[in-house]
Structure 1
Amino acid sequence: MSLFQTKAWQSAWWDTWGRQKSFRLVRPWDGEVSGLYESRYRLKGVLPIRSLQFVGTSSRELRTPRTEYNRFSRNLTGQPLVRALQQQLESHTWTEAVFNDLRAGSEDLSALVTIAATQNWAFRIIAVDDGYAVTTSGPFDEYLASLGANSRLKLYNRRAVLESLGPVREENLWPHNSKAFFDALNAFHRERWRKDCVAGKSLTFHERFLSRVEEEGGRPLLSTLTCGNHIVSVLYNVWYRGVVYNIQAGFEQNFHKKLSLGSLHLGYAIEDAFRLPDTDRFDMLAGQGKKENYKARIATENYQFLTVMLVKSTLFRALYWMRG
């Protein structure tokens, strides 16, 4: 399981976005696998749709923090998983089932393909995204040596330039100063993307999640990188079960023409993960950078998430396919 299937993440998401009339929880989360819910909406404002989805995801109605590594079962595989999942799907009335961010090659995906074929349901892949991670169980020096020269420069070697500009310090602002962390994250995102990163309901969600995840053994790492007395970069990381998850990041643009602050800060955080005896992975999750896929350059492993849709009726299959 991952950070996103914890009771902390799932309950915080549902408490923030799930309490609306069109949503109904049909399978609760258990701290190991994602919950399921039904949402109701009208296609093009006319046709009523019942959509079955993972708690933490919303294919059409909401924009919320991404919930990755979704799965249906903690330990079933093969035919037992197929039977259990088919029973779950047949026990609910739905028009479409949209399952976000399942691992490519997983037993869950294989089971869905099998069920769709035997039940004559449409099965459609609607999104494919790459994710990236760094294995941190070996020596950090060996990891650095494995990188290309330019990647090593941005991630590590240019620390000397940063340190020449003033005292450099890493600090975790959880739990005593999380407001300053999110204020800095929003400021950096406004500069780069012209909008806040976490505000309103999104901020409420993250505050709820962080306050709850410690009960399940998680460790929030709201990391700031300070040069002199000035925060120049932030990383929203959380440690859980041997993995540091990098959820968000922000940094000051145009700080210095020779420095990529986001990469440098990642370098410090990855080195910290190598030093932790109870950590074997730094997961940068899905997504790419604004200008380049920096994750691919520094990762030691990559994986894929697939988002799939199942549709039962012939009528709705035709409507969806016409829409593209």
Structure 2
Amino acid sequence: MTIFQTNAWQQAWWAYWGDTQGFRRISNRSGLAGLYVDRYRFRGILPIHCLQFVGTNYRRLATPRTEYNRLTSGAAGAECLAEVRRRLGAGRWSEAVFRDVPASAPDLQALQDYAAQTRCMLRTVAEDTSYFVDTTQSFEAYLKNLGSGTRLRLYNRRSVLQTQGEITFANAWPDKVDGFFEALNGFHESRWGGPCFGTTSLAFHRTFLDTIGEEGGEPRLSVLYCNDQIVSVLYNVLYRGCIYNLQAGFVENFHRKLALGSLHLGYDIEGAFADKDIHKFDFLAGSGKNENYKSRIATGHEKLVSVMLVRHPVLKLLYALKD
């Protein structure tokens, strides 16, 4: 179970997007993503009843990404297929889209078996990869296994950073949250041309952070200061021994020799290695603006697959023509 299946994440997502016209929640399972049906007309003509995970939406909404989704509680074989049948039988749907399911989960095989037995079309609509660092060994061994250029960006140029002024770190939770997200949005405006979080998404994250502590989670809004000025932020949450890095932002062109975001990550990764209760630092899916930096600093990865089941005969024909 990850932060995305907590009540804090699931309930906050539904609180902000669940009243969208056409949404109807049909399943709420502790430890698993809930399910809902999105009813709408595709291009205003074709009626669609799309079953999907709470925390995701196919076609109509862009919301914070919800990863590591599961239909089942972990059993394999016939038991897994039976659980898939129960969950898919909870509502009326013409297609079902299940986003970011771990490729290692038995759910995907169960969905293949379900499709074959019910004559549904099964389509893969997206694939991605999440990256993580196993922090159960030593930080020194981790650094040694990095490429020389990556080690330079992540660790070795700390001495250059120290020459730029007084370097300090702090957790902005819970007293300086507004300033943290203001800085994060500002850094994204400069780098990407738009804020990291809009008004609704920001409210969602604030609600999630306010409630994750009830389930043992710990917000770690890491701030790097240079001469009391915020120059880098990492939006991290610790949950069940794993630090999830949801977002990051930093001052661009701070120094020609420094990759400021990478250096900040290096400090936080080192802190995770030093804590015996932490076993993983998870960068989640997605890549950087210019490069897939996560793949170079990770020690492992997890393939994520998004699949669609198509039940309605007209939709099956249309998708067959498209594919």
TM-score range, shorter chain: over 0.9
Query: Counterparts in 2 of 1:103-122, with a 5 A limit?
Result: 103-122=102-121
Q: CA deviation at 1:313?
A: 2.3
Is the Cα contact below 8 Å between 2:184 and 2:233 reproduced in 1? yes
Q: CA deviation at 1:275?
A: 1.0
Aligned to 1:243: 242
SS of the equivalent of 1:70 reads coil
Which sits farther off after the overlay, 129-138 or 80-89? 80-89
Aligned to 1:287: 286
Aligned to 1:9: 9
* Structure-2 separation of matches of 1:145 and 1:75: 35
Aligned to 2:222: 223
Query: Counterparts in 2 of 1:119-138, with a 5 A limit?
Result: 119-138=118-137
Query: Counterparts in 2 of 1:131-170, with a 5 A limit?
Result: 131-170=130-169
* Structure-1 separation of matches of 2:261 and 2:123: 36
Query: Counterparts in 2 of 1:61-210, with a 5 A limit?
Result: 61-210=60-209
**2:172 partner letter:** L
TM-score normalized by the length of structure 1: 0.98
* Structure-2 separation of matches of 1:34 and 1:220: 21
Is the Cα contact below 8 Å between 1:59 and 1:98 reproduced in 2? yes
* Structure-1 separation of matches of 2:21 and 2:301: 39
Query: Counterparts in 2 of 1:43-58, with a 5 A limit?
Result: 43-58=42-57
SS of the equivalent of 1:68 reads coil
Q: Mind listing any 5+ residue stretches in structure 1 that lack a counterpart? A: none
Q: CA deviation at 1:44?
A: 1.5
**1:26 partner letter:** I
Is the Cα contact below 8 Å between 2:123 and 2:307 reproduced in 1? yes
SS of the equivalent of 2:73 reads coil
* Structure-2 separation of matches of 1:303 and 1:169: 33
CA RMSD of aligned residues (A): 1.0
Question: What percent of counterpart residues are identical?
Answer: 50
Deviations 1:120-139 (A, max 9, x none): 11000010001100000111
Aligned to 2:22: 22
Query: Counterparts in 2 of 1:25-40, with a 5 A limit?
Result: 25-30=25-30, 32-40=31-39
Deviations 1:217-251 (A, max 9, x none): 00000111111121111000000000000000001
* Structure-2 separation of matches of 1:105 and 1:271: 28
Deviations 1:14-57 (A, max 9, x none): 00111233111100141x11000001111111111000000000
**How many corresponding residue pairs?**
323
**1:289 partner letter:** G
* Runs of 4+ residues over 6 Å off in structure 1: none
Q: Mind listing any 5+ residue stretches in structure 2 that lack a counterpart? A: none
* Structure-2 separation of matches of 1:124 and 1:20: 26
TM-score normalized by the length of structure 2: 0.98
Q: CA deviation at 1:73?
A: 2.1
**1:219 partner letter:** E
* Structure-2 separation of matches of 1:175 and 1:322: 53
